[in-house]
Amino acid sequence: MTQRRLARECALEVLYRLELVGDEPEDTIQELLVRKNPSDEGETHLRRIVATVQTRRREIDLTLRRHLRRWRLERLKMLDRSILRIGCAELLFFDDVPPKVAINEAVDIAKKFSDDDSGRFVNGVLDGISRECRPVKTEEGKNEPGAE
């Protein structure tokens, strides 16, 4: 498992516990650092994800709501909601994470911790966000949303 994958999985646990029981993120992070022993890179990415989701949650949730078809964010499984927030945060705010990586990682985590249907759902939502927020350059150098 890569350090960034470990960071994403740890961030999922932090965000899930925060929403479920209101645990302080730093307490959960410290516990995970001892239990999972990520590298410095892994810890940095974990902290960056958690901080971004917390500070930009309104913007992340608004983006997710625009891309949910026939679903309300509040009605999603708490686990899936946290996975979507992590993936959306990476798509919107982490220029060092390629969109396909952010999407694939979120899908794999959804399949691992939720179910295959969640994986497909996460893929559809994040793919729509990716097409909107990170347009692909055409040969002429113009941005073309969603072109691949």
pTM over 0.85: yes
**CATH number, domain containing residue 23:** 1.10.940.10
Per the structure block, which two tokens stand in for 40? 């410095």
Number of domains observed in the structure of the chain: 1
pLDDT tens figures, 49-83: 999 999 999 999 999 999 998 899 999 999 999 99
pLDDT tens figures, 88-142: 999 999 999 999 999 999 999 999 999 889 999 999 999 999 998 865 544 554 4
* Residue-level pLDDT at 145: 42
How far apart, in Å, are the Cα atoms of 119 and each of 22, 40, 113, 146? Answer: 26, 29, 10, 20
Strands (E), the chain: 136-137, 143-144
In the chain, the amino acid numbered 6 is: L
Residue 37 CA to residue 34 CA, distance in Å, equals 5
**Which domain range does residue 117 map to?**
3-144
* Residue-level pLDDT at 46: 98
